[in-house]
Amino acid sequence: MDDTSKIEPAKMREALSAVVRAQEAALAEWKEFAATVPKRLNASQRERSAYLRGRLAGLSQAHREFEMRSPIEFYES
Tens digits of residue pLDDT in 7-52? 777 888 888 899 999 999 999 999 999 999 998 999 999 999 999 9
Using a cut of 0.85, tell me whether the model's pTM lies above it.
Answer: no
For residues 23 and 31, the answer to whether their CB atoms sit within 8 Å is no
DSSP letter for each residue of the chain: ---GGGS-HHHHHHHHHHHHHHHHHHHHHHHHHHHHS-SS--HHHHHHHHHHHHHHHHHHHHHHHHHHHSPP-----
- CA neighbours closer than 13 Å in the CB half-sphere of residue 43: 0
